[in-house]
Amino acid sequence: MLDVSPTMKALVVLEPNRVEIQDVPTPTPGPNEVLARVHAVSICGTDAHLVRGDYPGFWPLSFPFIPGHEWAGDIVALGPGADLYGWKIGDRVAGTSHDACGFCQKCVEGHYNLCENYGKLGLHKQYGHNVQGADATYVVQGVKTIFNLPDGISFELGAIIDPASIALHVANRGNVQPGDAVAITGGGAIGLLSGDAALIRGASRIIVVEPNAGRRAKAEQLGFETVDPGASDPVETVRAMTAGLGVDVVLECAGVPVTVQWALGMLRRGGRCAAVGIPTKGVEIAMQRIVLDELELVGCRASAGEMRRVMPLVEQGRMRVKEMVTHRFSLDQYEQALATLNDPKSGAIKIVIEP
């Protein structure tokens, strides 16, 4: 074990919309856990919802709470048994959030993101959601939720491996095939990285539907076509761009009721929509068309094994995480960072915090 301070700085959400940087006890790793020094942690849209209290009693279970689940750092201490899995002090790692039970049917089948013991004390944890997260100097996580970070990937970019893996999961759930035309609703980090993931799977064209001019500009810099839903009906526009047929796949990355409706409207017959955005209220969908045109609507939750697969794609520059980073702040500046993320005029896509 390296020298570790008994206390650490952490972002503590005291109650909805009230955060404070506090000195708190440094956590101790338990069996099959590690303690890692956090070098970089990125802000997820879920973090903003959590700080606002949009998921009461679910994420988090209670306040005060330390959020943060997209991070990279190095191991400074091993809990009992962690060495049996090959982990060593000094290892560079990137973390993901789901620490599933490992023995329910979904876990055994590889769908640990759908663990049937989700949230059950002693069986499942989701870091930064229902247990303490990584917006701090140190974080404790289980050995199933950390991955070796290649030397060619910096800690800053390592903090975006988790969202990159989610983007790959979205494209996988969308079953993008070579030659497919793909539309993406929402031009944030997940949306843009999903565009890269769709290209990796063989998509022939990517159309990003995004109202924010700065994000559309970023999408165009990445070589994607764009649609401004404020300038014209996005469904009609996408259909016009595809000879009236619609796209083969839509990756719904906004999580707004109207974007879900747009996504289904843009699909050609037999098309498939993979949705990763989480609406905070209900959505009315055109069920008649889903039946008659044999459309598919599938959900996407986090990732399920894509962390390792996405690492070489990031290292090769095929998954362009570097282009996602628009702002950097210290932990003490978290409130400013969050305000920047929530400001449509800021141009923020991915904000990295350096504890």
The Cα 57–Cα 255 span in angstroms is 20
* CATH numbers and ranges of domains, the chain: 7-160+321-354 (3.90.180.10), 167-299 (3.40.50.720)
Question: pLDDT of 205-231, one tens digit each?
Answer: 999 999 999 999 999 999 999 999 999
How many residues does the structure list for the chain?
355
pLDDT at 280 > cutoff 90: no
> Is-contact 136 9, C-beta < 8 A?
yes
Do the beta carbons of residue 136 and residue 68 sit within 8 Å?
A: yes
pTM: 0.96
How do residues 168-212 score in pLDDT, each as one tens digit?
A: 999 999 999 999 999 999 999 999 999 999 999 999 999 999 999
